[in-house]
Structure 1
Amino acid sequence: MQNNDTNHIIHAIKQVCQTRQITCLHAIESGSRAWGFASPDSDYDVRLLYCQQADWYLSLFDGKDTFEFIQNDLLAVPFDIGGWDIKKALQLLYKSNAVIFEWLHSPIVYEQKTDLTTELQALSIDYFQPITVFHHYRGMAKNAGSNLDFTAPIRLKKFFYLLRALLAAKWISTIHTPPPVIMRQMLELVDQEVQTEILALIDIKRMQDESYIHQLSPLMISAIESLRASIENPTFAETQISNIAPLNALYRSVVRSI
């Protein structure tokens, strides 16, 4: 059942698409709400794949293929919509962009062309390059943890951003598939005792605002250091980049259907 926030978001998506004269192909939630550790005051981060009107693709020079719309008074928390044109999205998929994998598998879907999404999800596996996506998450982990001092209380939000990035990097280096969007689905990578404490922290964050400060336990600090060490020197088998023809065919079918 859709709640009021969801209804407002779906209505906002339709308005934004109408104003920009674009067609929504796939609209999802990104960020902490999709990852499964939102606070009551977490922002809504709505992300779209869309297509333009047909003539846009026949222009001599490429037009702007992204947009961002922010509205702070629509809901009780900040709300923004960002999007990529389908051509850009497919180019990024070909390059094994980590974000496009997340968008295609978000557990929170506001609108989609189901057949197209299903085809994209199936195609995406052929373009997954483990080392490329691994470096994305390891870089996120380094950025998220660069200024954290675990001997003192830290914002729980920052801890979860670090933890998810570390888990995602370890998932890729050990399982060699795109990491799940929902963080708790990656907890099999850590010991049961650590899993239990992480789930308890998720419950705490669910009830606290984004500014909540928490002192991590020695167990959790040790788990973070262990995850960091586990992704320092990964080995990856060489993979072949898949033929671009299927993506070209999908792109042409989308444009021809406008």
Structure 2
Amino acid sequence: MNIQQKIQNLFQNRDEHPLFYIESGSRLWGMASPDSDYDVRGFHLPSKAQYYDYRQHRDLIEIMDGDFDFVSFDLNKMFGLLAKSNPTVLEWVRAHIIYFNQFPEWDKFKDRLLEEVDYKALYYHYLSLAKGGMNVMQVADNFTYKKVFYSIRGLMSAELATQQIMPELLITELFEQIDANDPLLHWAEDYLEIKKQQKEKAQVPEAEQIQILKLLNAKIEILCSRKIEQTNDIEKLKNYLTEYSFNLKQHFYG
């Protein structure tokens, strides 16, 4: 699938300016199944007419076309989430699979942004993601390898956030950041290749389910016993995003 061409075709009949699009989800994390979708995420700039219009325009574009799953936020929505150190959009910014990028001085912007991240926001997001995945997997016919690895990834990322370490996106590189003696890591390393070979809805054998739940719950108990404080200056981050937004809009709108 030519993702770049699909993005260009999508914006041919739209007024918005495409800015930045990446692959997210399991393909970005290096744990895609044979039938995984292409989860394309990113953000756009409203047209000049939309920007100056007194009427409010939708800040989201969503397209689902077969296995092409496309979501785009407008710049203001995206920057609003970045101001809160939203881990999901931070992953988009950090993604190594980039399909489209029209941001001026992108690397400089990204590096400065990551210096201002609040690790407390990352901790709570990834912990909540893991718990949510665990709740879903315990419902009938939902104990899939996909859900297990999403929970593992969330817990490992939350643990690193408590140490103010940015979690790697690729699952194998994330594993390298974790203590080699961690029993959850041992299970994950053994089963990652099995997960990659299974379809999205493939179930973990029942005999393994109790073991993995014990490992996940043990990790949650450890993480919940830790305290983490806000690690950034929120006003400094907001000011930086405001300045960059102003310059970016000047660049495109003139």
Pairing 1:78-93 to 2, within 5 Å after superposition: 78-93=67-82
Alignment RMSD: 2.4
Say whether residues 1:185 and 2:173 are aligned partners.
yes
Q: Residue 25 of structure 1: SS of its match in structure 2?
A: strand
1:73-92 superposed Cα distances (whole Å, 9 cap, x missing partner): xxxxx211100111211111
- Give unpaired runs (5+ residues) of structure 1: 73-77
Find the counterpart in structure 1 of residue 119 from structure 2.
Answer: 130
In the alignment, the residues of structure 2 paired with residue 149 and residue 70 of structure 1 have an alpha-carbon distance, to the nearest angstrom, of: 28
Aligned counterpart, 1:67:
61
The one of 95, 99, 114 aligned to 1:106: 95
Task: Name the TM-score, length of structure 2 as normaliser.
Answer: 0.86
1:34 counterpart = 2:28? yes
Contact 1:32–1:38 (CA under 8 A) maintained in structure 2: yes
Q: Distance in 2 between matches of 1:153 and 1:47?
A: 25
Alignment of 1:1-258 (within 5 A): 5=1, 7=2, 9-72=3-66, 78-113=67-102, 115-149=104-138, 154-173=143-162, 175-187=163-175, 188-192=177-181, 194-215=184-205, 216=208, 220-239=212-231, 240-243=233-236, 244-258=238-252
Distance 1:85 1:144 in 2: 28
- The answer to whether the 8 Å contact 1:101/1:178 transfers is no
Q: Secondary structure at the match of 1:48?
A: strand
Shift in alpha-carbon separation, 1:116–1:100, aligned structure 2, 3 A = farther
Give the C-alpha shift of residue 55 in structure 1. Answer: 2.7
1:69 CA displacement: 0.7
How far the C-alpha of 1:60 sits from its partner, in A, is: 2.0
1:167-219 CA distance string (max 9 Å, x none): 1111111x214322222222232435654542332211222211212233776
The answer to whether the 8 Å contact 1:29/1:46 transfers is yes
Gaps of 5+ in 2: none
Determine if contact 1:104/1:117 at 8 Å carries over to the other structure. Answer: no
Point out 4+ residue stretches in structure 1 off by more than 4 angstroms: 217-222
Equivalents in 2 of 1:228, 1:28: separation in Å?
Answer: 31
Q: Indicate if the aligned counterparts of 1:156 and 1:213 stay in contact, CA closer than 8 A.
A: yes
Name the amino acid aligned to 1:19: N
**Taking structure 1 as reference, are residues 23 and 116 closer, same or farther at Cα in structure 2, changes over 3 Å only?**
farther
- Contact preservation (8 Å) 1:104, 1:120: no
Q: Is the 8 A contact 1:96 1:132 kept in 2?
A: yes
Distance in 2 separating the partners of 1:232 and 1:154: 23
Does the 8 A contact of 2:79 with 2:241 survive in 1?
yes
Render the CA deviation track for 1:12-36: whole Å, top value 9, x for unaligned.
1001122222222211011111111
Supply the distance in 2 between the matched residues of 1:164 and 1:146 (Cα, whole angstroms). Answer: 15
- State whether residues 39 and 68 of structure 2, in contact with CA within 8 Å, keep that contact through their aligned partners in structure 1: yes
- Count of aligned residue pairs for this structure pair: 245
More moved, 94-103 vs 113-122: 113-122
Post-superposition shift, 1:221?
Answer: 4.6
In structure 2, what residue type is equivalent to 1:225? N
Distance 2:215 2:42 in 1: 35
Contact 1:26/1:117, CA 8 A, preserved across alignment: no
